[in-house]
Structure 1
Amino acid sequence: MATHRIYTTSFASVYPHYVAKAERKGRTQAEVDRIIRWLTGYTRGELEAQLEHETDFETFFAEAPELNPSRKLITGVVCGIRVEDIEEPLMQEIRYLDKLVDELARGKPMDKILRS
């Protein structure tokens, strides 16, 4: 089975798109970072190191210190696919992140995005 292209794509190459999407809707880079850190357990310094090293998505999620157990509460559609129905674990993690950034850009309150 062929590896999906996103798995070998540098997280650092997609990160600016997450930030730009949020900023176009009046949100901030700090909020994007908070979402990423909530999802993955990275500290601010660890996240910056991952970006600096241009880690690919597969490694980014494999090295995540602690994937948030509440991420399983993330539901909805991203790219026409329900995130809760994605069977491939890595793709599901990537789509969780996409969904959180979408919610941020749509103006959802941070406490709702972070499932608090």
Structure 2
Amino acid sequence: MKTDNTRVYKMAFSGVYPHYIAKAEKKGRTKAEVDAIIFWLTGYDSNKLREIINNKIDFETFFAEAELNPNVSKITGTICGYRVEDIEDPLMQKIRYLDKLIDELAKGKTLEKILRQ
């Protein structure tokens, strides 16, 4: 099944970021933990993240400029009904990796487990 994900790719990361934080905080987790996940996945730091948010960078650019963690292949399981390891579109897979990690945080997993350490 091939779907057109252009709309998702063009969404500003800054538009979704507050939802990641809200999802985590609703379950007693913190913005710092959300940021730690983003930093681990992308190789970004707080300055780069702030720049991405301020410049309303889209998901396509967000992941194009990221240096993905070498352990991303250890991220498995389902998100939104899809197995992340089976998603064929490379950009959508990266977006779902991030969704999956935030989901694990909200479900109470320890940061060590989420960051595949």
Q: Same fold (TM over 0.5)?
A: yes
Task: Indicate whether 1:93 and 2:56 are aligned.
Answer: no
Residue of structure 1 equivalent to 2:31: 29
**Secondary structure at the counterpart of residue 111 of structure 1:** helix
**Secondary structure at the counterpart of residue 26 of structure 1:** coil
Q: Give the gaps of 5 or more residues in structure 1.
A: none
Aligned-residue Cα RMSD (Å) equals 1.1
Structure 1 consecutive aligned stretches of length 4 or more whose deviation exceeds 4 Å: none
* Aligned AA (2:63): F
- TM-superposed CA distance for 1:63, in Å, is 1.0
Q: Deviations over 1:1-46 (max 9, x none)?
A: 8443110000000000000000000000000000001000001100
Residue of structure 1 equivalent to 2:65: 63
Q: Give the gaps of 5 or more residues in structure 2.
A: none
Task: Indicate whether 1:72 and 2:73 are aligned.
Answer: yes
Q: How many residues align?
A: 115
Give the whole-Å Cα distance in 2 for the aligned partners of 1:113 and 1:83.
14
* Aligned AA (2:37): I
The TM-score with structure 2 as length reference comes to 0.95
Percent identical among aligned pairs is 63
* Aligned AA (2:99): D
Q: Deviations over 1:85-107 (max 9, x none)?
A: 00110000000000000000000
